[in-house]
């Protein structure tokens, strides 16, 4: 209402302004802009020490790839550069960067002393000739050079966009190999961009749907190790694990941590019926949250821990519901055509991502937590299992290709639906879960 | 249980526990420290460099020596013995290096006859022009060639530019040695607005042609045909199609603006009406800027106002930015300041302001086209950047 | 990991590899529980012997199929399960795990739950025909273990199944 009033006032101001003898500045209102990737340049970082040139260049490349990969930025390649930065401390020749229309410029320097790596950088708004934020320095080991690059990229990203980055994060997923009818699956972890893949289990048993803890130190997953699906919790650092739920004659699956990191919500099947339970991970104490003769599964907490979104076919088809975290009455939030599953609450709390099946196609979509403003982001033969980037701006999911040779691949997409792109993994990959930002 | 099974079980357990506890699989993040580079603050730098990109000397701007302050060890666990091997020279799998479709070929020297005057994509098959009344949800119904991915979303769809042109929102013809008033003596490469679509089309909306979409398309086939451009005027139907709720440009055709606004909101009618009628009501001649002149300034700034990289918080923040122009229409960078902001916190306002500042400077780099005789009226400008309509495109 | 550890690990793995056959000793049929595919049918007797697991698989029929997103038993499924119940009644030395499966047209968690429904539907039916419940376990593989791998209804129809996998109570 206030906005409406303001607009009217503004319109009125526009109306009378030319008539009144103009005093004060000319006023115009801009309501239409463009949405396009912001052109930026990352000239090679300056090696401060002997032998740092290679890693300095690689760090610059990773930063540029991080930023370009968001779709919000577009790198102006080195081949187009006029200027060169050979001294981190020297003033920037902004004219050189304006000339190639670089709007943001990232400069940096790298020094290596033994195994110790130090990276300094600055971000510049080229056209106003101002620095965005202050220079920053990261120190670590040479082993961790990629992480340093991701840290720098996160800082650049947040200085330009105003929201947190997501590059210094990891993804736990299921690495797949072998034919469709005898697929080998093992848990693996990697940097968000597909680098540094490490395996957390062998492929002796089927493993499904790993989920990070809120602090990123543990992973819940489902394994057929005993012949029956059971939930395990695995310490990522030490790769120590234990089974959580071993009730005879039942299956437990679809686990997810509560924001407190102590409670786990999951599905338990008994006598063909699947319901949602929560469990204290330390005491093992369980509480039943739903009791319906229908399938209730894929629960996910809101970031404040007060609500749970889940899927149920109590209406006859898979749909999304929200209930209090303590159980109780559930409210249906999905009403569009088709079936809705695998809801995941965004880390910002304002959206829910989901898988939708309609007319033989699968979509990844987002909606408000009350089910309004549904927006489908993708469409393919089989997309499923969204997971949110730590900043709530990007979604990663599994896309499976059709047919006998079908394979699973991870993809990312911006929540506007732009910038759909595959994540490069060795072999097939499914069921991604994005970690929070590392510290 | 058979003895063999027992042995097997024991051996399995032993192997697994050895593998897990012994660190066959290990995944520790590498340790890390963070520190401000204490060399110089942004403010200091700005002060030193005199705001205007001082290209000159100033050797002592920064001192790298100032860096090694005591470094607080933030989250630095012992490096794991099994940590991934350092690979500074051969980086592990690069993140998907999706080819950047954007950069157009670099300017070719030969003159281009008229690269400019066709930002109206009217009868071209690509990029598709949405029907005026269509909402995003309806788009997939329209049969059409699958658009190739265009990274840019602008108020008006822009056809692919001539290959020789560099992307630049400021359309300008290639300047041969004939210098105009604005100074540049050296030849300027031709530029054209970068190709753009007027709305984000997600895969879910575009990908229908693959299988199930075909049936839908067949059924709907006759529902859409290319609409001929009514007239070659600038910002015509295409604009209206893309942004039905926009206050209309003050093009003299106020009758058309009014008809259209009848289906629009009352608000935009008021705005459009006021803008178009204003000059008539208040003596068009004389010193103040005409609505058309103001509109062209507005359009010029809009072309550089890129909100694509703004946070959602910044996208709900309206900022009012003051700027002073020189008499040749160029913004004085030092004069640009935020007058006020609403809708977001100071962080969001800062990002919003920075985007606005980039727009003003970038599109004003060659001087805004404003009537020189009315300089007093446009020397100081306050621009309100309201991203409300840009939030979900 | 040092070289010695690697060598030891490889050796240990090789030693354990033999165990996969041992695990299958009591399993008949191409159930998914065992590591060895198809190898379980070895030694399961001749199809001509009506008390052999091979006969159960081939003559009685060890599996039933379901409609899309359904777990109700059709007439054909009931007939097969009735025959299975008879066979199990006559051969009390065998227990069974009923494996529920779904086609790939569904989300992972939902398909696990759906497979459980199917397996349970088969189990309930067998119990209603006189098989003691304690002899029958269920497990769901969701869409993880398709039999047919094409992405057509012809394959999907064969993948939406519940398979009764025998194991010999004496073999354990």
Predicted pLDDT at A302:
97
Q: Are residues B351 and B281 in the same domain?
A: no
The answer to whether residue B116 is domain-embedded is: no
pLDDT in tens, chain A (439 residues): 444 444 444 444 444 444 444 467 889 999 988 888 999 999 999 999 988 999 999 999 999 999 999 999 999 999 999 989 999 989 999 999 999 999 999 999 999 999 999 999 999 999 988 899 888 999 999 999 999 999 999 999 999 988 899 999 999 999 999 999 899 999 999 999 999 999 999 999 999 999 999 999 999 999 999 989 999 999 988 767 888 866 777 899 999 999 999 999 999 999 999 999 999 998 989 999 999 999 999 999 999 999 999 999 999 999 999 999 999 999 999 998 999 999 999 999 999 999 999 999 999 999 999 999 999 999 999 999 999 999 999 999 999 999 989 999 999 999 989 899 999 999 999 999 999 998 7
* B216 vs A381: CA distance, rounded Å: 17
Predicted pLDDT at B85:
36
- Note which residues in 283-342 of chain A have CB less than 8 A from chain B: none
Predicted pLDDT at B13:
52
Give, in order, the Cα–Cα distances in Å from A86 to each of A93, B33, B36: 12, 25, 21
Please indicate whether, in this complex, the C-beta atoms of C23 and B24 are within 8 angstroms of each other: no
Domain span at residue B273 reads: 250-285
Q: Which domains does chain C have, with CATH numbers?
A: 26-168 (3.30.1330.60)
Give, in order, the Cα–Cα distances in Å from C132 to each of A128, C84, C86, C126, C139: 81, 13, 12, 8, 17
Higher-confidence position of C172 and B195 = B195
The pLDDT confidence band at residue B308, using thresholds 50, 70 and 90, is: confident
Q: Does C147 touch chain A (CB under 8 A)?
A: yes
Which residue from A253, A297, A404 is facing C150, i.e. has the nearest CB? Answer: A404
Q: What is the CA radius of gyration of chain B?
A: 29
The pLDDT confidence band at residue B63, using thresholds 50, 70 and 90, is: very low
* A434 vs A416: CA distance, rounded Å: 19
* B339 vs B329: CA distance, rounded Å: 21
Q: What is the CATH number of domain A170-434?
A: 2.120.10.30
DSSP string covering B87-136, please?
-SSS-SS---------PPPPPPSS--SS-SS----TT-SSSPPPPTT--G
* A147 vs A63: CA distance, rounded Å: 10
Predicted pLDDT at B234:
42
The answer to whether residue B43 is domain-embedded is: no
Q: Which two tokens stand for residue A236?
A: 């990522």
Check pLDDT > 70 for residue B83.
no
Indicate the residue among B241, B259, B285 that finishes a domain: B285
pTM for the full predicted model:
0.73
Q: Are residues B272 and B359 in the same domain?
A: no
Check pLDDT > 60 for residue C67.
yes
Check pLDDT > 60 for residue B246.
no
How far does B5 lie from chain C, in Å, by closest CA? 7
Q: Which chains touch B (3 or more CB pairs under 8 A)?
A: A, C
Please indicate whether, in this complex, the C-beta atoms of B151 and A71 are within 8 angstroms of each other: yes
Which residue from B4, B14, B82 is facing C22, i.e. has the nearest CB? Answer: B4
Check pLDDT > 70 for residue B55.
no
Q: Are B301 and B314 spatial neighbours (Cβ–Cβ below 8 Å)?
A: no
The pLDDT confidence band at residue B156, using thresholds 50, 70 and 90, is: low
| Helices of type H across A101-196 | 145-161
The answer to whether residue B97 is domain-embedded is: no
Residues in chain B: 393
Residues in chain A: 439
Residue ranges per structural domain of chain A: 38-161, 170-434
Predicted pLDDT at B5:
57
The answer to whether residue B158 is domain-embedded is: no
CATH number of the domain at B371, please.
Answer: 3.30.1150
* B32 vs B42: CA distance, rounded Å: 25
Q: What is the CA radius of gyration of chain A?
A: 25
* B159 vs B260: CA distance, rounded Å: 25
Q: Give the chain C residue whose CA is nearest to the CA of B14.
A: C12
Higher-confidence position of C85 and B120 = C85
Q: Does C169 touch chain B (CB under 8 A)?
A: no
DSSP string covering B2-41, please?
-HHHHHHHHHHHHHHHHHHHTTSS---PPPEEEEE--S--
- Give the residue-averaged pLDDT of B305-323: 89
Indicate the residue among B285, B302, B331 that finishes a domain: B285
Predicted pLDDT at C44:
61
Q: Are residues B280 and B330 in the same domain?
A: no
Please indicate whether, in this complex, the C-beta atoms of B24 and C5 are within 8 angstroms of each other: yes
Which residue from C1, C9, C25 is facing B82, i.e. has the nearest CB? Answer: C1
Predicted pLDDT at A242:
85
Question: Chain B residues with CB-CB distance to C under 8 A?
Answer: 1-2, 4-5, 8, 11-12, 14-15, 18-19, 22-24, 82
How far does A358 lie from chain B, in Å, by closest CA? 10
Predicted pLDDT at B194:
61
Which residue from B5, B15, B23 is facing C16, i.e. has the nearest CB? Answer: B15
Yes or no: is domain A38-161 CATH 3.40.50.2000? no
Check pLDDT > 50 for residue B281.
no
Q: What's the total number of domains in chain B?
A: 2
* B119 vs B157: CA distance, rounded Å: 8
Q: Are residues B280 and B367 in the same domain?
A: no
Q: Which two tokens stand for residue B310?
A: 């703004």
The pLDDT confidence band at residue B310, using thresholds 50, 70 and 90, is: confident
Q: Does A362 touch chain B (CB under 8 A)?
A: no
DSSP string covering C21-78, please?
HHHTTTEESS-SSSSSTTGGGTTS--TTSTTSHHHIIIIIISEEE--TT-----HHHH
Higher-confidence position of B71 and C108 = C108
Q: What is the pLDDT of residues B323-378, one digit of tens each?
A: 999 999 999 988 999 999 998 888 889 989 999 999 999 888 889 989 888 898 89
Predicted pLDDT at B285:
41
Which residue from B1, B8, B24 is facing C9, i.e. has the nearest CB? Answer: B24
ipTM of the complex in this document: 0.89
| Residues with Cβ within 8 Å of residue A20, at least 6 apart in sequence | none
The answer to whether residue B274 is domain-embedded is: yes
- Note which residues in 25-84 of chain C have CB less than 8 A from chain B: 25
Please indicate whether, in this complex, the C-beta atoms of A239 and B61 are within 8 angstroms of each other: no
- Note which residues in 51-80 of chain C have CB less than 8 A from chain A: 69, 71
Q: What is the pLDDT of residues A107-130, one digit of tens each?
A: 999 999 999 999 999 999 999 888
Which residue from C113, C124, C151 is facing A406, i.e. has the nearest CB? Answer: C151
């Amino acid at each position: 209402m206030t906005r409406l009033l303001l607009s009217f006032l503004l319109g009125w101001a526009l109306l009378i302004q030319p008539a009144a003898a103009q005093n004060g500045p000319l006023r115009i209102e801009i309501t239409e802009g463009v949405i396009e990737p912001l052109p930026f340049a990352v000239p090679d970082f300056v090696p401060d020490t002997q032998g740092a040139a290679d890693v300095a260049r690689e760090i610059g490349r990773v930063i540029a790839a991080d930023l370009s990969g968001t779709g919000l930025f577009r790198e102006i390649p080195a081949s187009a550069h006029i200027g060169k930065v050979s001294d981190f401390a020297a003033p920037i020749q902004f004219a050189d960067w304006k000339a190639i229309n670089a709007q943001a410029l990232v400069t940096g320097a790298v020094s290596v002393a033994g195994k110790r790596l130090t990276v300094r950088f600055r971000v510049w708004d080229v056209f106003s000739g101002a620095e965005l934020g202050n220079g920053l320095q990261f120190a670590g080991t040479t082993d961790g050079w990629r992480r340093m690059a991701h840290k720098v990229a996160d800082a650049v990203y947040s200085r330009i966009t105003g929201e947190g980055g997501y590059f210094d994060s990891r993804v736990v997923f299921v690495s797949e190999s072998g034919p469709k009818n005898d697929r080998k699956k093992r848990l693996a972890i990697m940097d968000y961009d597909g680098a540094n893949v490490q395996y957390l289990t062998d492929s002796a048993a089927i493993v499904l749907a790993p989920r990070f803890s809120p602090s990123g130190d543990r992973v819940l997953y489902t394994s057929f190790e005993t012949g029956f699906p059971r939930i395990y919790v695995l310490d990522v650092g030490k790769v120590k694990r234990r089974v959580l739920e071993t009730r005879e004659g039942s299956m437990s699956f679809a686990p997810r941590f509560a924001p407190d990191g102590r409670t786990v919500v999951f599905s338990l099947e008994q006598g063909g019926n699947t319901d949602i339970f929560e469990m204290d991970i330390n005491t093992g104490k369980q509480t039943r949250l739903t009791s319906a003769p229908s399938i209730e599964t894929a629960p996910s907490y809101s970031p404040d821990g007060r609500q749970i979104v889940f899927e149920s076919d109590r209406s006859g088809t898979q749909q999304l519901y929200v209930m209090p975290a303590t159980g109780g009455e559930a409210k249906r939030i999905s009403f569009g055509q088709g079936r809705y599953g695998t809801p995941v609450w965004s880390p910002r709390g304002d959206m829910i991502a989901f898988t939708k099946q309609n007319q033989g196609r699968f979509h990844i979509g987002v909606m408000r937590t009350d089910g309004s403003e549904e927006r489908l982001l993708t469409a393919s033969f089989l997309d499923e299992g969204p997971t949110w980037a730590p900043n709530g701006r990007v979604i990663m999911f599994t896309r499976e290709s059709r047919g006998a040779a079908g394979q699973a691949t991870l993809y990312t997409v911006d929540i506007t639906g732009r910038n759909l792109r595959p994540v490069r993994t060795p072999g097939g990959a499914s069921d991604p879960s994005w970690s929070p930002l590392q510290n | 249980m058979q003895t063999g099974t027992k042995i097997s079980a024991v051996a399995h357990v032993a192997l697994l526990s050895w593998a897990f506890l012994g660190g066959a699989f290990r995944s520790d993040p590498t340790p890390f420290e963070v520190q401000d580079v204490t060399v110089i603050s942004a403010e200091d730098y700005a002060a030193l460099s005199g705001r205007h990109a001082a290209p000159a000397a100033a050797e002592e701007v920064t001192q790298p020596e100032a860096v090694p302050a005591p470094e607080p060890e933030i989250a630095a666990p012992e490096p794991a013995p099994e940590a991934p091997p350092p690979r500074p020279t051969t980086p592990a799998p690069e993140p998907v290096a999706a080819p950047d479709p954007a950069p157009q070929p670099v300017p070719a020297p030969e003159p281009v006859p008229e690269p400019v005057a066709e930002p109206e994509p009217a009868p071209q098959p690509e990029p598709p022009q949405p029907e005026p009344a269509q909402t995003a949800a309806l788009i997939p119904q329209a049969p059409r060639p699958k658009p190739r991915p265009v990274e840019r979303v602008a108020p008006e769809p822009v056809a692919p530019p001539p290959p020789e042109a560099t992307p630049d929102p400021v359309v300008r013809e290639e300047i041969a040695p004939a210098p105009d008033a604005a100074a540049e003596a050296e030849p300027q490469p031709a530029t054209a607005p970068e190709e753009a679509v007027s709305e984000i089309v997600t895969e879910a909306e575009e990908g229908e042609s693959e299988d199930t979409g075909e049936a839908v398309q067949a059924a709907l086939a006759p529902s859409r045909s290319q609409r001929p451009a009514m007239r070659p005027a600038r910002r015509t139907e295409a604009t209206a199609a893309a942004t039905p709720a926009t206050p209309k440009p003050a093009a003299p055709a106020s009758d058309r603006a009014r008809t259209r606004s009848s289906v629009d909101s009352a608000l935009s009618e008021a705005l459009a009406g006021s803008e178009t009628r204003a000059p008539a009501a208040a003596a068009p001649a004389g010193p103040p800027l005409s609505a058309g002149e103001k509109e062209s300034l507005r359009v010029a700034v809009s072309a550089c106002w890129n909100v694509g990289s703004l946070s959602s918080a910044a996208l709900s923040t309206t900022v009012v930015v003051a700027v002073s122009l020189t008499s040749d229409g160029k913004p004085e960078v030092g004069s640009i300041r935020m007058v006020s902001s609403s809708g977001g916190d100071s962080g969001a306002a800062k990002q919003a302001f920075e985007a606005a500042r980039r727009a003003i400077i970038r599109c004003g780099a060659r001087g805004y086209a404003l009537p020189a005789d009315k300089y007093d009226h446009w020397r100081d400008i306050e621009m309100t950047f309201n991203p409300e309509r840009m939030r979900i495109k | 990991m040092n070289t010695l550890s690697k060598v030891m690990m490889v050796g240990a793995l090789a030693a354990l590899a033999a165990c996969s056959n041992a695990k299958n000793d009591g399993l008949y049929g191409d159930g998914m529980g065992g590591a060895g595919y198809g190898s379980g049918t070895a030694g399961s007797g001749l199809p001509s012997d009506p008390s052999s697991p091979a006969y159960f698989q081939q003559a009685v029929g060890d599996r039933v199929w379901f409609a899309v997103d359904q777990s109700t038993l059709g007439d054909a499924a009931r007939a097969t399960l009735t025959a299975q119940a008879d066979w199990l009644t006559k051969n009390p030395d065998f227990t069974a795990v009923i494996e529920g499966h779904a086609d790939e047209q569904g989300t992972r968690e939902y398909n696990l739950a759906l497979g459980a429904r199917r397996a349970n539907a088969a189990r309930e039916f067998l119990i209603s025909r006189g098989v003691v419940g304690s002899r029958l376990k269920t497990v769901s593989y969701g869409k993880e273990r398709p039999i047919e791998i094409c992405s057509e209804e012809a394959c999907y129809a064969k993948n939406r199944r519940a398979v009764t996998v025998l194991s010999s109570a004496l073999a354990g």
